[in-house]
Structure 1
Amino acid sequence: MAITTLRSTEKPSRPQNITVLGLPDGLRNHFVAMVGEFCGTFLFLFFAYAIAQAANSTTDAISTPNPAQLVMISAGFGFSLAANVFTFFRVSGGQFNPCVSLSLALVGAISPIRAAICSFAQIVAGIAAAAAVDSLTPGPILYANSLGEGVSKTRGLFLEMFMTAQLCIAVLMLAATKHRSRPMAPLGIGLALFIDHLVGVFFTGAGVNPARSFGPAVVIPSFPVYHWIYWVGPILGAIIAAGLFHFLKFFHYETTNSSQDDDGFAEIEESLKSRV
């Protein structure tokens, strides 16, 4: 009686020194990552911007939160991010945010050069997505970031910092490390952004991503005097997330609850073999 192997122990071989159009392996990889980040960021923000445009078109400006509107915008950004991270994760890692790229570089998950290349692609994609939605939907742009009534620049700065830290630590813990639930990382990352938007849409517009904030500002064009908080706040959040990750790694957090990565496959295989 043959026993079907539940999990292969052999790792697929990776092709080495691939040259396409005369590009050496390293340069080709950077180019593909840049294209992946541009396409993924464009699709993520295109659908998120379009949903925010539709949600904000349904109500007049109000001084109190509209729960249905907040949930629609939050779900638009969260699910659009999750879908596109799932799609492009194997191409470029599905970063789609210069501050996520920064946090990955700070923990050594990607090189500074890769982070810079991807960040450039993300910012250009944010402008392109904002322009595309502006061209395809009626009325003025309604998805630009702005501070809510009574929200000071200081409050906005720290809100953006903490929200970005939440997103970046989710990326670092779920996608930048190997663990049993890593294939579901895009869902967790999307949920993190969903929560960020539930908190931030009414108070700051929930920037959390310089590419997301910069795109509409360029297309309108309009840069409020506090536009800097949508860069400084997220950058500080990325640094905090990287610092927390380094702290946990320094104390070998993976040994604290090591059983959570036990998959039980070895025990199942032994049980099946004993029945032969």
Structure 2
Amino acid sequence: MPSKYRPQIVGWFGDLDKGPHSLPLHDDRLIYANDNYCAFIRQEHNDQIFYTCLYFIAIILLNVTIIGCVWLAVLHDNSKIEFVDLVVIACFITSLFALNYAIPEFYQNAFSRLGSPIIFNRKTGKVYVNESYFFNFKILRHPKVFLQPKKRRIQEYDWNDMHGVIIHNFSRNALTSTVLMVCQPGTNQVIDHVMLDPARPATGRMFVWGWINSFMVNYKSADIDDGEYKTDEEAKFKTDMIEGEGWPEWMVEAFNATSLEELSTIKQKYNIKP
């Protein structure tokens, strides 16, 4: 049975149901929560270091391969096409596609600071994202964005329009990822994607999704003191994880909005269009 969210994402494994879950968190990606909002990081620091190094090496090797292919093509007798020419052309094209994948992966790991926190406000039903522009599912990008390694994507979403799906990572370790499908209001037509929980063993794929769903409806299983920073450490959390990371002032203030009316007042204060 295919996903009900269209177009279906590559690697789709299953749709997730919304609603409270009784499962405990069993996860260290929750960094802070209070009665208004919670914050999850989506990238582990050690993973970022590993993948930054991995993709940096891959970029170097791919560039060497591309230069080598061009060099062979220039030196080879072009009067007739031989099998070796086809191999060089195939290698050149494959390397270009691989480089198109490796550069964004390097950028998003090297410049996704402090784990790319995602914020969920249960009083307003809003979700706030501040992440690397390359922390997404695009394949084709305008060439000029490759000259902007620190480009950011800062968005506000409605929780009601976000739906969870599980996708395969196509790895030997049977890892899965939880992705939030952002749909047009009242439909299943997908207009955006947000990575929620990358590279998770299949047995633990419900922990983060289940806790967030419980938190958003104020269910008892979502203990707001489960985070790295305790509830009364909000100032320290913001100092360590939010300040200096490019979050707009209005958005930081909106984290603690207790109603849509208060959120509207905050946006008017900062001249933010609805």
Regarding TM over 0.5, the answer is no
Higher helix share: 1
Greater share of strand residues, 1 or 2? Answer: 2
Tell me the TM-score normalized by structure 2: 0.30
